[in-house]
Amino acid sequence: QTPPFFIPDRSAIDPIVYARQYIGSQASKDLISREDWELMYKRMACSLIIMCEANVDWPADDGVRLMPSTTEEWLLTQEVFGQMLKEVSLRFVVLPKDLMDIADRVAFV
């Protein structure tokens, strides 16, 4: 049986954001024009999207995603995520970086 919800820590927009940040605007536009993005977009548009505000204590290298090498790069990644979500008209809320307690984060959601 499928649970009524799930909480992923990655989304279909992640590679689009990284393409924009590290390759350029055209690369992200190319990804957005793909049919599979259209399908994922529809699913994301029906979802609650929570973007965690950049907290320099949170990043942990999981061997999968790119890790920022500086605080500035980490903050830029957050900025690009917000820009891309707005650009593709996906509603989202920002989980404040100072909300450190897990119970407080759950209550926020």
Residue-level pLDDT at 2: 60
CB 44 within 8 A of CB 13: yes
- Backbone torsions φ then ψ of 54, nearest 5 degrees: -60, 125
What Cα–Cα distance (Å) separates residue 25 from each residue in 11, 16, 22, 80? 19, 9, 9, 11
Residue-level pLDDT at 80: 96
Q: Is the pTM of this model over 0.85?
A: no
- What are the residues whose beta carbons fall under 8 Å from the beta carbon of 1, sequence distance 6 or more? none
What number of CA atoms fall less than 13 Å from residue 43's CA on the CB side?
A: 11
Residue-level pLDDT at 11: 87
> Residue 43: what residue type?
R
Taking the C-alpha atoms of residue 87 and residue 101, their distance in angstroms, rounded to an integer, is 31
Q: Please identify every stretch of the chain with a pLDDT value under 70, giving residue numbers as ranges.
A: 1-6
